[in-house]
Amino acid sequence: MRFRDGQWLVAEGMRVEYAEEVYRITETPSGKGLSLLCPTRKIMTRGDVLNLATISIDIEPAFDGCLSVSTTHWQGAVQRGPDFDLFPAGQPDVPSQVAKSEKGTTISAGSLSATISSKPHEFDISFHSTDNKKQLTTLLNRSIGFAYSPATSNPMQTADMRNLKHYIFTQTTLGVGESVHGLGERFGAFNKVGQKVDLWNSDGGTSSDQAYKNISFWMSSKGYGIFIDTPERVELEIGSERCCRVQTSVEGQRLKWYIIYGPSPREILQKYSILTGKPGNVPSWSFGLWLSTSFTTSYDENTVNSFLDGMKARDIPVEVFHFDCFWLKAFQWCDFVFDDDMFPDPKGQIARLKANGTVKKVCVWTNPYLGQASPVFAEAVAKGYLLKRKNGDIFQWDMWQTGMGIVDFTNPAACDWFVSCLEKLFDIGVDCIKTDFGERIPSEDVQWFDPAVDPKKMHNFYAFIYNKLVYETLQKRFGANEAVLFARTATAGTQRFPLTWGGDCESTPEAMAESIRGGLSLGLSGFSFWSVDIGGFEGYPEPWIYKRWVAFGLLCSHSRLHGSNSYRVPWTVDNDDASAEGCSATLAAWTHLKARLMPYLFSQAQEAVKNGIPLSLRAMCIEFPDDPTAWTLDRQFMVGDSLLVAPIFEETGTVEFYLPKGRWTNFFTGEAKSGPAWFTETHTFATLPLYVRENTLLVLGKPGEKRTVYDYVKDVEVRSYFAVDGARASLVDSTGKEVGTLQVKDGQLSGKEVLMGNYVITVASE
What would the mean pLDDT of 506-534 be, rounded to a whole number?
98
505/525 same-domain check: yes
Residues 229, 237, 408, 504: which is the catalytic one? 504
What would the mean pLDDT of 87-111 be, rounded to a whole number?
94
Query: What was the pLDDT predicted at 196?
Result: 98
Q: Say if residues 389 and 311 touch (Cβ distance below 8 Å).
A: no
412 vs 458: CA distance, rounded Å: 16
- Count Cα atoms within 13 angstroms, Cβ side, for 429: 20
- In sequence order, what are the residues at sequence separation of 6 or more whose Cβ sits closer than 8 angstroms to the Cβ of residue 343? 300, 301, 327, 349
688/762 same-domain check: no
Percent of the chain with pLDDT over 70: 100
What would the mean pLDDT of 514-525 be, rounded to a whole number?
98
Domain boundary among 548, 583, 610: 610
Q: Which helix (H) or strand (E) segment is 763 a member of?
A: strand 760-763
CA torsion sign for 707, 713, 718, 722 is positive
Query: What was the pLDDT predicted at 765?
Result: 63
What would the mean pLDDT of 210-221 be, rounded to a whole number?
98
490/520 same-domain check: yes
- Count Cα atoms within 13 angstroms, Cβ side, for 124: 9
Q: What is the DSSP string of 561-614?
A: E--SSS--SGGGTTT---STTSHHHHHHHHHHHHHHHHHHHHHHHHHHHHHT--
Domain boundary among 107, 130, 145: 145
Position 24, amino acid: R
703 vs 686: CA distance, rounded Å: 16
Residues 185, 203, 408, 439: which is the catalytic one? 439
- Count Cα atoms within 13 angstroms, Cβ side, for 253: 12
Is 504 part of the annotated catalytic residue set?
Answer: yes
Query: What was the pLDDT predicted at 766?
Result: 54
Tell me the pLDDT band of 342, cut-offs 50, 70 and 90: very high
CA torsion sign for 119, 125, 131, 134 is negative
457/527 same-domain check: yes
The total of structural domains in the chain comes to 4
Q: Give how far the C-alpha of residue 569 lies from the chain's centroid of Cα atoms, to the nearest Å.
A: 28
394 vs 442: CA distance, rounded Å: 12
3-state secondary structure of 333: coil
Q: Residues 71-78: contacts with CB within 8 Å, 24+ apart? A: 71/144, 71/168, 71/170, 71/254, 71/255, 71/256, 72/168, 72/253, 72/254, 73/146, 73/166, 73/168, 73/253, 73/254, 74/253, 75/253, 77/252, 77/253, 77/254
With helix as H, strand as E and coil as C, how does 106-172 read?
A: EEEECCEEEEEECCCCCCCEEEEECCCCCEEEEECCCCEEEEEECCCCCHHHHHCCCCCEEEEEEEE
Q: How many of the other CB atoms lie within 10 Å of CB of 510? A: 12
Domain boundary among 638, 666, 692: 692
601/652 same-domain check: no
Work out the burial of residue 26: count CB atoms within 10 Å of its CB; fewer than 13 is exposed, 13-18 middle, 19 or more buried.
exposed
At residue 301, does pLDDT exceed 70?
yes
At residue 481, does pLDDT exceed 70?
yes
279 vs 483: CA distance, rounded Å: 12
212 inside domain: no
At residue 491, does pLDDT exceed 80?
yes
Mean pLDDT, rounded, of the chain: 97
Residue from 36, 28, 22 nearest 96 by CA: 28
- Give the residue numbers spanning the domain of 503: 284-366+412-610
264 DSSP assignment: S
The model's pLDDT over 459-479, given as tens digits with 9 standing for 90+, comes to: 999 999 999 999 999 999 999
Is 439 part of the annotated catalytic residue set?
Answer: yes
The model's pLDDT over 221-237, given as tens digits with 9 standing for 90+, comes to: 999 999 999 999 999 99
119/141 same-domain check: yes
Q: Say if residues 454 and 230 touch (Cβ distance below 8 Å).
A: no
Q: Give how far the C-alpha of residue 110 lies from the chain's centroid of Cα atoms, to the nearest Å.
A: 28
What are φ and ψ of residue 723, in 5° steps? -80, 130
Paired residues of 10 in beta bridges: 4
Tell me the pLDDT band of 531, cut-offs 50, 70 and 90: very high
Percent of the chain with pLDDT over 90: 99
CA torsion sign for 712, 714, 716, 722 is positive
At residue 564, does pLDDT exceed 60?
yes
The model's pLDDT over 720-731, given as tens digits with 9 standing for 90+, comes to: 999 999 999 999
573 vs 616: CA distance, rounded Å: 27
**CATH number of the domain that residue 532 is part of:** 3.20.20.80
Q: Determine if the peptide bond prior to 325 is cis (ω within 30°).
A: no
What are φ and ψ of residue 257, in 5° steps? -145, 160
At residue 114, does pLDDT exceed 80?
yes
707/663 same-domain check: no
Tell me the pLDDT band of 699, cut-offs 50, 70 and 90: very high
pTM of whole model > 0.95?
Answer: yes
491/509 same-domain check: yes
Position 389, amino acid: R
268 inside domain: no
**CATH number of the domain that residue 753 is part of:** 2.60.40.1180
The model's pLDDT over 232-273, given as tens digits with 9 standing for 90+, comes to: 999 999 999 999 999 999 999 999 999 999 999 999 999 999
3-state secondary structure of 545: helix
Q: Say if residues 108 and 65 touch (Cβ distance below 8 Å).
A: no
Q: How many of the other CB atoms lie within 10 Å of CB of 539? A: 17
87 inside domain: no
385 vs 372: CA distance, rounded Å: 13
At residue 41, does pLDDT exceed 90?
yes
**CATH number of the domain that residue 55 is part of:** 2.60.40.1760
Tell me the pLDDT band of 394, cut-offs 50, 70 and 90: very high
Q: How many of the other CB atoms lie within 10 Å of CB of 95? A: 10
672 vs 18: CA distance, rounded Å: 57
CA distances from 543 to 532, 546, 564, 588 (A): 18, 5, 16, 15
257 inside domain: no
What are φ and ψ of residue 209, in 5° steps? -85, 0
Q: Determine if the peptide bond prior to 82 is cis (ω within 30°).
A: yes
23 inside domain: yes
Work out the burial of residue 251: count CB atoms within 10 Å of its CB; fewer than 13 is exposed, 13-18 middle, 19 or more buried.
middle
- In sequence order, what are the residues at sequence separation of 6 or more whose Cβ sits closer than 8 angstroms to the Cβ of residue 348? none
CA distances from 396 to 235, 328, 381, 409 (A): 28, 20, 11, 16
When computed from its CA atoms, the radius of gyration of the chain, rounded to whole angstroms, is: 27
532/670 same-domain check: no
748/677 same-domain check: no
163 inside domain: no
Q: Say if residues 111 and 130 touch (Cβ distance below 8 Å).
A: yes
761 inside domain: yes
What are φ and ψ of residue 459, in 5° steps? -55, -55
Query: What was the pLDDT predicted at 142?
Result: 95
Tell me the pLDDT band of 39, cut-offs 50, 70 and 90: very high
647 vs 519: CA distance, rounded Å: 13
522/558 same-domain check: yes
Q: Say if residues 192 and 183 touch (Cβ distance below 8 Å).
A: yes
Residues 203, 229, 431, 436: which is the catalytic one? 436
Paired residues of 248 in beta bridges: 170, 236
Tell me the pLDDT band of 555, cut-offs 50, 70 and 90: very high
Query: What was the pLDDT predicted at 634?
Result: 98
Tell me the pLDDT band of 96, cut-offs 50, 70 and 90: confident
152 inside domain: no
Q: Say if residues 19 and 57 touch (Cβ distance below 8 Å).
A: yes
Is 576 part of the annotated catalytic residue set?
Answer: no
Q: Which helix (H) or strand (E) segment is 38 a member of?
A: strand 34-39
Work out the burial of residue 444: count CB atoms within 10 Å of its CB; fewer than 13 is exposed, 13-18 middle, 19 or more buried.
exposed
531/679 same-domain check: no
What would the mean pLDDT of 687-700 be, rounded to a whole number?
98
Strand residue runs (E) in 262-360: 289-292, 320-323
227 vs 492: CA distance, rounded Å: 9
Residue from 624, 617, 608, 621 nearest 639 by CA: 617
